[in-house]
A and B are shown apart, each in its own frame.
Chain A
Amino acid sequence: MSPQCPNSDLFSQLRSEFPIFGTHPELVYLDSAATAQKPRCVLDAERRFYEEHNANVHRGSYALAIAATDAFENARSSIAGLLGVASDELIFTRGCTEGINLVAHSWGDSLAAGDEILVSTLEHHANIVPWQLLAQRRGVVIRPIPLNAAGQIDLPAYQALLGPRTRLVAITQAANATGTLPPLAEMIAAAHAAGALVLVDGAQGVVHRADGPAALAADFYAFSGHKVYGPTGIGVLYARRELLANLPPWQGGGEMIERVSFAGSSFAPAPQRFEAGTPPIAQAIGLATAMRWLAALDAADLHAHETGLQHRLETGLLDLPGVQVLAAATPRAPITALHFAGAHAYDVAHCLDARQIAVRVGQHCAHPLLAHFGVSSSLRVSLAAYNTTDDIDRFLVALGEALELLA
């Protein structure tokens, strides 16, 4: 066991909490940045809701509906508590992508032509395209924040881009394609000093117990449930209360209104104003369960476990010829992106799949970032709490043999 990890026994036991590894005992799952596997408690929480409390929320006057509403709102306050923010600052969405699109509409449509949004080159398309669509609607100018040669945010260039027309900085907490952790504290402080707001894409942050919106002082913070051991179809958008108070709704329907007449409608306060229609109730409860499960792990132990595995992986890679780790010199989340001098990443992934080793290959919805490194595709290994040294060792052996076959 790795010396970096004092609690490796604890983590090998933790793996047994994930039913998927019982179904597929030989599975080496190294694609957690795409979606994490789910612990049994999350699956149980969703099932229990349907079996014991299922009713629609915020509209029933009977005991079951009140219980369902309580369970749903308790999920919200539980997540808010873990993030260190207030419940009414937290909107349930379908996922991180929807959260960013919500901001781009509700807040973005208040912008004027010529206003500027800085978007980093580390971003997933979900934090690029909504701003481009806003630019088309409003004549807002998108300015890409460049990277330095190492693949990290070019801080001086970023500071030079901040100006009187800068209204928002859109930045990831960890680049999904390379794992790079941008210098968020400096970037957020500089944005605020320039009078701009900051949206942080926390999709790859929450799962590794990175700082939440309160610690970061982010104005908007979005993430997906399914990447933090929770269900699909649920996500969270945090927005500061003062901002939310003035934001118009972006989707209309039930649950988000106070009164409707054909002369006009008045809208409910936040967060309901932004949750049109029946929300993903069981998924919200599942997500709260997942986040409590994650919070129960010791953050330092989790960090030591995941970075210990990443270290083992990258040390092992040094023995293999023609393997390049993208953005290797930048501080990174437990995500390692590989480029091969002598083989197509697709072929390598295909060979790994024959041994039940699951990795992501391609451009990872981050074309600008891959273009920065001048590569057309890469193979991404992403780690989570349930991974083991055995996963890493099997990956390294299979990778070595695949590269030999394809050479």
Chain B
Amino acid sequence: MNPSYPHHPFGERIDKAALQTRLEAAQGWEAKNRLLVQLGRELPDWPATLRDDAHLVSGCESRVWLHGEYVDGQLRLYADSDSRIVKGLLALVLTAYCGQTAEMVARFDAEAWLQTLGLQRFVSASRGNGLRAIIRHIREYR
């Protein structure tokens, strides 16, 4: 039997509004960094057997593993990374996309949303590449 993707709270118990409140309370870049690390800790690690090439998203500075599938028309999304800060960022991405319909996934502007959260640094050219690869990947799930 295949090992299962670990359950996480993002997009369910933790929604976009809750995250927004926490990010707005974190004033300044250093505090936002701290919060990302903390969010990353709330996203459970995948078992080693799932951290394989089939799940790997290329184009990121750190390694990112992703899995998504639609169940009853809603996206179930799981993600992991070997970087704590990227895991924090993935927690935000999961919150935005988990439970959404394919139509919403196609329409949602994650980069603009991250900008409003004060995380434009992640969207900027060199670091943005990894994030863009992740979002492109998510949009390809059917």
Contacts and interface: CB of A to CB of B under 8 A. Distances in A.
Contacts of A361: 61
A344 B37 contact: no
A89 B83 CA distance: 48
Given A354-B29, A355-B30, A346 B61 contact: yes
B46 to A, nearest CB: 16
A344 B62 CA distance: 8
Given A344-B83, A346-B62, A346-B86, A354 B37 contact: no
A312 interface: no
B37 A405 contact: yes
A346 B61 CA distance: 7
A344 B29 contact: no
Main SS class of interface, B: helix
Nearest to B32: A354
The interface size bin for chain A is 10 to 19
Contact of A351 (B33, B62, B82, B86): B33
A361 B126 CA distance: 13
B34 interface: yes
Contacts of B30: 351, 354-355
Contacts of B57: none
A239 B33 CA distance: 50
Contact of B84 (A347, A355, A362): A347
A351 B30 CA distance: 7
Contact of B83 (A346, A354, A355, A405): A346
A340 to B, nearest CB: 12
A406 B37 contact: yes
B29 A406 contact: no
A347 B29 CA distance: 14
Contacts of A344: 62, 82-85
Interface in B4-54: 29-30, 33-34, 37
B85 A347 contact: yes
Contacts of B61: 346, 361-362
Nearest to B85: A347
Contact of A405 (B34, B62, B86): B34
Contacts of A362: 61
A171 to B, nearest CB: 29
Interface string A335-349: 000000001101100
A275 to B, nearest CB: 33
A208 interface: no
Nearest to A405: B37
Contacts of A351: 30, 33
Contacts of B62: 344, 346-347, 377
A125 interface: no
Q: Which of B29, B34, B83 has the most CB of A within 10 A?
A: B83
Given A344-B62, A362-B61, A350 B33 contact: yes
Contacts of A350: 33, 85
B75 to A, nearest CB: 27
A140 to B, nearest CB: 31
Contacts of B82: 344
B83 A347 contact: yes
Contacts of B34: 405
Interface in A380-407: 405-406
A19 B84 CA distance: 36
A85 B62 CA distance: 45
Interface string A107-135: 00000000000000000000000000000
Interface of B: 29-30, 33-34, 37, 61-62, 82-86
15 contacts: A344-B82, A344-B83, A344-B84, A347-B84, A347-B85, A347-B86, A350-B85, A351-B30, A354-B29, A354-B33, A361-B61, A362-B61, A405-B34, A405-B37, A406-B37
Interface of A: 343-344, 346-347, 350-351, 354-355, 361-362, 377, 405-406
Given A344-B85, A354-B33, A405-B34, 15 more contacts: A343-B84, A344-B83, A346-B62, A346-B85, A347-B84, A347-B85, A347-B86, A350-B33, A350-B85, A351-B33, A354-B30, A355-B30, A362-B61, A377-B62, A405-B33
